[in-house]
């Protein structure tokens, strides 16, 4: 078994698991209001990634975590299944990241445009989740591409005249 492939599958599972954890933090999407005038001040609130359309991205990320864990725990005899599951977890992580970005775009489009003092954007946990999904996608693709070590010995039997 290729130890780099195993490490890559474990790193992909850990990155996706961490992305799931950070997706529950209510600073994925932030809305801030700044009040002008006497007294001034402001108000800020945030939402987790599990709000509206972002919940689909969270569910996709959970499916990717399960696939990455299964890919990392398969025995060495299941080479094709491990590589296939690692690739599928990378594809699902990419889909989850796309759904999170779509969620952000939809929420920004649905917000009231032209309200002075309103700021709508990605919070700190949103950056963490999107970064972790990018890492998980890249590492899962690497894990799928890394070939397992071949057992020593001839690949084909020698010809009968040899």
Per-residue confidence in pLDDT tens, the chain, 162 aa? 567 878 888 898 899 999 999 999 988 888 777 776 566 677 778 888 888 778 898 999 999 999 988 888 888 777 788 888 888 998 999 999 999 988 888 877 766 566 666 777 888 999 999 999 999 999 988 888 875 655 455 566 767 776
Contact status, residue 21 vs residue 153, Cβ threshold 8 Å? no
Greatest Cα pair distance, the chain, in angstroms, is 99
E strands, the chain, in order = 29-34, 42-47, 118-122
The CATH code for residues 3-33+42-145 is 1.20.140.150
pTM: 0.78
Angstrom distance (rounded) from CA 6 to CA 113? 48
CA trace torsion 11, 89, 126, 111 (10° rounding): 180
Could you tell me the residue ranges of all domains in the chain? 3-33+42-145
β-strand partners of 33: 43, 118
């Amino acid at each position: 078994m290729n130890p780099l492939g195993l490490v890559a599958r474990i790193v992909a599972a850990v990155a996706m698991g961490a992305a799931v954890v950070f997706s529950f933090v209510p600073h994925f999407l932030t809305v801030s209001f700044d009040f002008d005038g006497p007294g001034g001040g402001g108000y800020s609130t945030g939402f987790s990634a599990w709000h509206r359309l972002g919940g689909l991205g969270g569910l996709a990320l959970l499916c990717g975590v399960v696939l990455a864990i299964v890919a990392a725990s398969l025995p060495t005899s299941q080479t094709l299944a491990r590589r296939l599951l690692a690739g599928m977890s990378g594809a699902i992580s990419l889909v989850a990241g796309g759904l999170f970005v779509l969620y952000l775009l939809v929420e920004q489009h649905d917000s009231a445009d032209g309200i002075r003092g309103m700021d709508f954007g990605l919070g700190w946990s949103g950056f963490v989740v999107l970064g972790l999904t990018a890492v998980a996608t890249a590492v899962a693709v690497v894990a799928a591409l890394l070939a397992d070590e071949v057992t020593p010995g001839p690949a084909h039997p020698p010809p009968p005249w040899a």
